Amino acid sequence: MAVGPLSPEPEQSTGPRRPTDPFDAPAVVWRPISAKLATARRIVTGVMAAVLALLLLVPVLVTDLTWPAWGFLLLAGAYGWAWWLIGRQVSAWAYAERSEELLVRSGRLWRRIVVVPYGRLQYVDVEAGPLARAFGIASVQLHTASAGTDSRIPGLESTEAATLRDRLTERGQAQLAGL
C-alpha cells in the first residue's frame, strides 16, 4: 500500500527485497548479548526477594497469624516469574553492525529497534558496575546529539565491549558528519 511515496525513484523497486518486519533488518548478523547478564539480574532480583522474605518472617515469628505464610508462596511465585521474564528479556536483546549504522533491538512485549548512524556518533559510554565486573560484562552505549537515541547494549563480554567501543569510535571518526 505504501509503495509509491516510499520509493520516489521507481527504478529502486528492483533493488533488494522490501522488509516487512521492522525488528529484523535484512542481510545483517544479529549478535546476542551474554547470558551472564541474566544470571546477574537474577541475583539482584534474588537479593531483593530475600530481603522481602526476611521482612515477612517477622510477623510469622512474632504473631501467631497464619496468613503471612502465604506471602512466601506468593514471593516464590513472583520470583519464578521474574526469573523467566529476565531470561526472555535478555535473550531478546541483540545488536548488529551494518556498514554505516549500529542496530540495537530489545524487548519482547514492548519491542524496539534503534538505528544509529556511526556518522552521528558524539561519544561512546562503556559502563560496568561491581556485579557486572565480577561477571566480566559491561554495557556499551552510543550517544548522538539527540537525547532520544537510546542505544544501550547491556551485558556484553568485557573484551567484546572494548572491541566494539573501538570499532564504533573508529567508524565514527571515519564517517563523521556535522550536526
Partner 1 sequence: VTVESVPQAGRPGHAGEAGWQRVHPLTPAIRSWQALAVVGFFLARDLGEGWLGGDRSSPSVPVPGREVGLRVWLAGGGLIVLVLLAVLAFMALSWRMTRYRITADTLELRRGVLFRQHRLAQLDRLQAVDVSQPFLARLFGLARLTVEVAGAGASSIELAFLTETVAQDLRNRLLAGAAGLEFSGEVAPEAPEHYWLEVPLPRLVASILLSGSTAMLLVTSLGLVAVMVASGSLAAAAGIVPTALGIGGVLWSRFTRGFGFRVATSPDGLRLRHGLLETRTQTVPPGRVQAVRLSQPLLWRRLDWWQVEVNVAGYGTRRSDSSGSSETTLLPVGTRADALAVTAFVAPDLGVGAGEHPRVVVDAGLDDVGPGHGFVASPPAARWFDWISWRRNGFRVTRTVLLIRSGMMVRRLVMVPHARTQSLAVQQGPLQRRLGLASFALHSTPGPISPVAAHLDVAVAAELLEAQAERSRQARAAAGPERWMRGVGTARPDDSELRPSPPPGH
Measured at the CA of 80, the angle between CA 106 and CA 73, to 5 degrees, comes to 150
Residue 115 to residue 113: CA distance in whole angstroms: 7
Q: Which is nearer to partner 1, 10 or 130 (CB)?
A: 10
CA-based nearest residue to 132, from 151, 112, 153, 115: 153
Q: Which is nearer to partner 1, 67 or 110 (CB)?
A: 110
Query: All 3 cell numbers of residue 134?
Result: 565480577
The residue whose grid cell reads 558524539 is 122
Nearest-10 crossing angle of helices 36-62, 68-92: 170
Minimum Å distance from CB 127 to partner 1?
17
Binding site for partner 1 (CB under 8 A): 1-2, 4-8, 18-23, 25-26, 100-101, 109-117, 119-120, 144-151, 175, 177-179
Q: Which is nearer to partner 1, 40 or 96 (CB)?
A: 96
Minimum Å distance from CB 101 to partner 1?
6
Minimum Å distance from CB 106 to partner 1?
10
Minimum Å distance from CB 50 to partner 1?
31
**Whether the Cβ atoms of residue 40 and residue 135 lie closer than 8 Å to each other:** yes
Q: Which is nearer to partner 1, 71 or 119 (CB)?
A: 119
